[in-house]
Copies of this chain bind each other. A is one copy, B any other.
Amino acid sequence: MFSRETYIKKRKSFIRALNERGISRGTFILLANGASPRNYQSNCYPFRQDSSWLYLVGTGLADCGYALDIESGRSYLYADEQSLDDVIWTGSPPSLHELAYSIGVEGVWPLSALQSLVAERLAKKEPLFILPPYRCEQQARLAELFGVAPSLQVEALGRFIDPRVILAFVSAREIKDAEEIDEIERAVTATKTVHEELLYSFEPGWTEKAAADYVLSRASAMGFELSFATIATCRGAVLHNSPTAYAATAEDTFLLDAGLEMPSGYAGDLTTTFPVGPRFGAQARAIYEVLYQAFGVAAATLAPGVRFLDVHTQASLTIADGLKSLGLMRGDPHDAVHEGAHALFFPHGLGHQIGLDVHDMEGLGEDYVGYGDELRRSDQFGLRSLRLAKTLKPGMVHSVEPGIYFIPQLFRKWRAERICQDLLNYDIIERWMSVGGMRIEEDWCITESGARRLGPAFDKTVEALERARSVQ
């Protein structure tokens, strides 16, 4: 996808990061993804290459392997030529040595050579490193490669998974270069197009499922994949609601959280909340105003050197303050945020990194990606769901997505257990429960001097949304 120079550069920055963490020799092994069976072996889901592979190796070829010698920086692709039967059914493959050249590796060897390489390194007790597998098939293939087959033992593979390697890889992958930011921005721009199309097309009577189908339909027509399962719902208070057959009424508030993915794998991720009728109800409008303010405060706080944990806190304070002014909360907003009272309304984190994964690198472990060795994750309700906390650096790309929700089950439990009752006006909150849930999400890139919102402008003020919903 990118030039061979780009991949060579990426491998160099990974090796530099490994060296900084005290790893200067050994072999780093990566496997490409294989097919993922849907309803029988040969009927597979659309192939998705592994994101770490896309980052470091850079080819869409399935079922192959890669080895990087950390000391010399030399790396090889391992792949098999196709049989005549394969050619009849799936066509001539790309020439492997041309492919190897295009991604800047030293050469290409048969897959069996990777098995020999690993066996030899194991025999000589030389260091071998892998990344944690997230697919069962991948785990089984690694187990076989490392001679722990046929058992499927996380423990047996665990000794090849070195936290320093993960942290080094994250520190390389999390800084996006100009080409990567461009890819993400194209994904965000296309995502915005689909959100705006739905904003203008949606009508009372549409089901949630129809809205989700619309998003997939438009994404496909534009040549994009979805970066995650679309959330399209009148019940925004269910955070990851699967679209249902519920038909929206003019009184509902609709929440669309959907992202498109570039053919290269880079993702966009936006959330838009809008009234199904031409106007928000009075309570929904008031809550949306608080939310929009929190979104603005968070966005204005973004800069290199700032901890995202503190941005989350600023957004939380704004929400607590706003809800206090509406009478739903009371006391000092700082106390409320410290006690976690605001998490009754905002039980998730403010954002996550975005890149080749929509929750970038989440397969490597959320804490490595969002906290590193700088911070430890809180176990307080709400805060424990914060995916990104660490200090922002130029080149990082992430979402900002505050939300305010009225979740019946959570409300009932907290009220019954009198949680933070000095900070929450439960009797008043009860009268606002029908507001449901709202979220605003946009994607940002940290620059040398501040931060830049990705994609074209998308006015999400109450006025702009109501205008859009009125011109049907």
Contacts and interface: CB of A to CB of B under 8 A. Distances in A.
A238 interface: yes
A410 B220 contact: no
A240 B265 CA distance: 23
Interface in A82-103: 84, 87-92
A37 B84 contact: no
Contacts of A362: 40-43
Interface stretch (A19-27, A164-172, A351-359): A351-359
A50 interface: yes
A48 B43 CA distance: 11
B235 A210 contact: no
B45 A242 contact: no
Interface stretch (A6-14, A129-137, A305-313): A129-137
A189 interface: no
A211 to B, nearest CB: 11
A365 to B, nearest CB: 10
A97 B51 CA distance: 41
Interface residues of A, number: 65
Copies held by the complex? 2
A41 to B, nearest CB: 5
Given A39-B357, A88-B410, A90-B242, A140 B150 contact: no
A178 interface: no
Contacts of A46: 45, 229
Nearest to A52: B39
A228 B43 contact: yes
Contacts of A37: 36, 134-135, 363
- Choose among A51, A220, A222, A358 the residue with the greatest number of B CB atoms under 10 Å from its CB: A220
Interface in A342-378: 347, 356-359, 361-363
B235 A91 contact: yes
A358 B42 CA distance: 11
A390 to B, nearest CB: 19
Contacts of A241: 90-91
B239 A363 contact: no
A431 interface: no
A133 to B, nearest CB: 10
Contacts of A153: 150
B228 A221 contact: no
